Amino acid sequence: MKILHTADWHLGKIVNYVHMTEDQRLILDQFIDIVREEKPDAVIVAGDLYDRSIPPKHAVELLNNTLTTLINELQVPVLAISGNHDSPDRLQFGSELFRKQGLFLDSKLKKDRQPVTLYDDDGPVHFHLIPYVEPAEVAQVFEDDQIKSHQQAAAKLVEDIQDRFNQEERHVWIGHSFLAGGMESESEERLSMIGGSPYVDAHLFKEFQYVALGHLHQPQRVTRDYIRYSGSILKYSFSEVHQKKSVTVVNMDEKGHCEIEKIALHPKRDFQIVEGHFEELLSGDAADHHENYLHIRLLDDGQLVDPMGKLRQVYPNILYLERKRSASNPEMDELEKVKRRQKLSPADLFASFYEDIKGDELPEKRQQLIHQAIDEIREKERGQ
């Protein structure tokens, strides 16, 4: 069976106030061309179809057009799950009706859930669609209040699959989670919960024939070739500048052994970091393509008049402009501190603020209250 694995479309994404919809439309057209060429038996989208719980109209239209082409025109089944950026309630609407058309979209966990089973010449392949869920949701479904972490939640789900289904047959896990050992970048929101760890041990999935993951944006394997993140379809931050975006093609034989190939995706506008002196940059030769999304570091020491305006006449898609940090410049030291804080999780950021104001560490009891408040806000944002 041939499977095409993708994830983390993040439709509706805005990067530094720039809407990425046109770039996403072009890359999804390229993705559809790959589906036409490869003729897979199934397409997997492992979460984060949208970038936020209430996506803009143009993002909804783009997803609708893409899925319609895949299912109606190319007649390939699409197996998708919700990620931590998606609203489970909104994605769940109409899902039972869509299944009859070949769109299998799971956004909520159910007790005694059944896999999507597809057949090839060698028999059945069972696809277990596990949407992003908080540990408390798994605890509620299985009536087990001992489940407190993402690791415990994943272990319970794997145990349930192994108990209820024939392990001599071929099984594929489709999930959206943070596997320990995976390489992350700035644009991924760290999965978290009160008092627990977001990480899941990849060893849990060793008995599956393939594990199709979403959440981490860099294409990568984790401990084994068949436990794999496909990565996002586009770069969404300058921390991903050196990544090569792709979709993953999986050819599974009758015994469940997988041959894996990555097919590169080529955006119209790439992300690029450029350094140079102002006058040199104005020549127009600094970027690989003048329409690339640029992070520019200026090496000049003196005062410059409207550098952003002038540089944008040459490079229209500058997203970030800075002076390269000087070791003896206290203002740049302070800027570097601010940038470091921008990378902190919401809970860590509040703890840092508390320490600055109070001159003492945030007490553990108050940490729990902050985590609880953040989780409640996230649940509301996801429409739960």
Domain for residue 104, yes or no?
A: yes
User: 119 and 26 in one domain?
Assistant: yes
Consecutive H or E run containing 311 = helix 307-312
pLDDT-derived band at 271, boundaries 50, 70, 90: very high
> Tens digits of per-residue pLDDT, 16-51?
999 999 999 999 999 999 999 999 999 999 999 999
User: 374 and 308 in one domain?
Assistant: no
Domain for residue 330, yes or no?
A: no
Question: Domain range spanning residue 307?
Answer: 271-324
Q: How confident is the model at residue 276, as a pLDDT? A: 93
User: 278 and 254 in one domain?
Assistant: no
The token pair at 104 is 């299998």
Q: Which of 161, 281, 186, 307 is nearest to 242 (CA)?
A: 186
Domain for residue 334, yes or no?
A: no
Q: How confident is the model at residue 262, as a pLDDT? A: 97
Contact 297, 275 (CB under 8 A): yes
pLDDT-derived band at 190, boundaries 50, 70, 90: low
| Number of domain units in the chain | 3
Domain for residue 162, yes or no?
A: yes
Q: In whole numbers, what is the pLDDT of the chain averaged over residues? A: 89
User: 294 and 224 in one domain?
Assistant: no
Residue 297, Cβ neighbours under 10 Å: how many? 14
Quote the Cα angle for 383-150-90, to 5°: 20
User: 125 and 258 in one domain?
Assistant: yes
Domain for residue 336, yes or no?
A: no
pTM for the complete prediction?
A: 0.84
Quote the CA–CA distance of 199 and 3 in Å, as a whole number.
26
Domain for residue 54, yes or no?
A: yes
User: 281 and 257 in one domain?
Assistant: no
Domain stops at, among 264, 282, 303: 264
Quote the CA–CA distance of 1 and 119 in Å, as a whole number.
8
> Tens digits of per-residue pLDDT, 210-248?
999 999 999 999 999 999 999 999 999 999 999 999 999
Helix axis angle, 135-142 to 150-164, nearest 10° = 40
- SS3 of the chain: helix, strand, coil, percent, to 5: 35, 25, 40
User: 292 and 357 in one domain?
Assistant: no
Domain for residue 313, yes or no?
A: yes
Q: Which amino acid is at 39?
A: K
> Tens digits of per-residue pLDDT, 359-379?
567 888 888 888 888 877 767
